[in-house]
Structure 1
Amino acid sequence: MSMAVNTIPGFYFTPTDEDLITFYLKPKAMRQPLPWDGILEKNLYGDNATPWVILTENDWEISRQTARAYEDSVSKDEMYVFTKLKKIGTVRFGRVAGSGKWNDNQPFKYIKNRQGEIIGIKKIFTFKVKGEKGHEKMDHMEKGHWIMHQYTLAGVSLVQEVKDSDYAICRIIRDLSKCRTNVAESSEGQSRLDIDLNN
């Protein structure tokens, strides 16, 4: 059974980067009330955190109630999720997520407030299946292309006492149109599956 989130007619959750840090991530880290209850909380990192396993179709259904409308493709969805980072040592964070890993493919970006002060950091990741073979490759083919925008606190956001500074807020984008399957016959007459995951 799906869970409804509190919305008003015509409301769509389209926050700016500054909004995410100021009104959602920082209050979450300080254990303060949030202005809206539609952001899920999930463990996006760890041995059991394959994205299409922990983000269920029910979760996507909930998100679609307020998600941004993509006019270019009915197969593209987005979702906002709170998660806790997995530390490795004192300065590094683990990016393993079940059958794969979130790979960062762009330089990070500082998020600033209207006064020009740094309040957070934005990083962009793409999910990559480990090994890309066997049933894991099939799963990746069927589940599409996954991108994550991860926001963490930085700068003046950490001046006040923050109880849970390891929290992040992530915008997850699932694009099923980025997955294409071609079936061909091999020279031995057996079926061969060629998988093309477009970037």
Structure 2
Amino acid sequence: METTAKECAARRAAAALPPGFRFRPTDEELVVHYLRRRALDSPLPPAVDIPDVRLLAHDPSDLLPPGWSEQERYFFTCKEAKYVKGRRANRATGAGYWKATGKEKPVAVSVPAAPRSQAAVVVGMKRSLVFYRGKPPTGKKTDWVMHEYRLAGAGLAPCRRAADHPARPAEGWVLCRVFRKKGSSAASTASPTADADEDDATTVRADDGGDGAVTAAGVRFIDFFARADARRRRAASPVSSSCVTDASAEHCREQETTSRGGGAGAGDASD
């Protein structure tokens, strides 16, 4: 059952979460609180937007386009059989195919079994797939990954009892999480604005004025290394070490004048 455009727009409008909040459900939560609700045709929480999409009709880059605010997206879709007679799922898209990696893993929840004890009950299965471009078996592996969740065991039991209407294929619904593998060039590209902010925070735009103090964003900092360099430059100047400051230099000139006058007087006395 496809969701109409009006219903999708209503879901997107209601899916606005406060700043800082992210949709990060666990495997158990995805199966119990979302996938089983979709199979039972029950409404989802108003702040959650998981659209119904035919994944095989889309390229992964269309499902998670560049500039998307999140690094992953969740979708509901119905499994399609590869052959008319058979249970093998169709994984082919227009530009490539999804290839399963490894075996399915059970998704279990803990329920009270006896006093002070817990028992694990399987409610679903999880499968990992990687997208390949081209035709099998010579397709080129990409960094697109999908986690596919399906109902099983205790999670599927109530759906089977309720799915007595042909328009609600309970067993066919799966929940998919599509994302790019960490470390890929596209997934690891940093935001240009973030880089600019970091550069601005570490760049000094004010002149130190020769006193070793710089001003950045209205805050005054003292650069002790610059002051040490200034002291070394003054020490290396041609002025005598006994006349470093202007006052001492003036004192030196007075001493030199006095010494010259005293020397002349001594010469006259000797004559």
Question: TM-score, with normalisation over the residues of structure 2?
Answer: 0.51
Letter of the structure 2 residue corresponding to residue 85 of structure 1: K
Q: Which runs of 4+ in 1 moved over 4 A?
A: none
Matching residue within 174, 177, 193 for 1:168 = 174
Q: Kindly tell me: are residues 175 and 105 of structure 1, through their superposed partners in 2, closer, same or farther at Cα, counting changes over 3 Å?
A: closer
Q: Kindly tell me: are residues 96 and 8 of structure 1, through their superposed partners in 2, closer, same or farther at Cα, counting changes over 3 Å?
A: same
Q: Give the number of aligned pairs.
A: 154
Distance apart, 1:177 and its partner CA:
5.2
* Alignment partner, residue 143 of structure 2: 145
Matching residue within 149, 156, 159 for 2:157 = 159
Report which of the two structures shows the higher radius of gyration computed on alpha carbons.
2
* Alignment partner, residue 111 of structure 1: 107
The answer to whether structure 1 residue 57 and structure 2 residue 68 are counterparts is no
Cα RMSD (Å)? 2.8
* Alignment partner, residue 89 of structure 2: 93
Distance apart, 1:8 and its partner CA:
2.7
Q: Kindly tell me: are residues 146 and 56 of structure 1, through their superposed partners in 2, closer, same or farther at Cα, counting changes over 3 Å?
A: closer
* Residue-by-residue CA offset, 1:96-123 (whole Å, 9 max, x unaligned): 1221110011111010111211100100
Gap runs ≥5 in structure 2: 1-8, 112-119, 187-271
| Identity %, equivalent residues | 29
Question: TM-score, with normalisation over the residues of structure 1?
Answer: 0.67
Q: Secondary structure at the match of 2:29?
A: helix
Structure with bigger strand share is 1
C-alpha distance in structure 1 between counterparts of 2:94 and 2:16, whole Å: 31
Matches within 5 A, 1:15-34: 15-34=25-44
The answer to whether the 8 A contact 2:127-2:147 is kept is yes
Structure with bigger helix share is 2
The answer to whether the 8 A contact 2:59-2:93 is kept is yes
The answer to whether structure 1 residue 84 and structure 2 residue 92 are counterparts is no
Distance apart, 1:50 and its partner CA:
2.3
Q: Secondary structure at the match of 2:21?
A: coil
C-alpha distance in structure 2 between counterparts of 1:159 and 1:108, whole Å: 19
Q: Secondary structure at the match of 2:54?
A: coil
Q: Kindly tell me: are residues 158 and 129 of structure 1, through their superposed partners in 2, closer, same or farther at Cα, counting changes over 3 Å?
A: same
Gap runs ≥5 in structure 1: 68-76, 181-199
Distance apart, 1:16 and its partner CA:
0.5
Q: Secondary structure at the match of 1:114?
A: strand
* Residue-by-residue CA offset, 1:9-50 (whole Å, 9 max, x unaligned): 3311110000000110000011001124322321112xx332
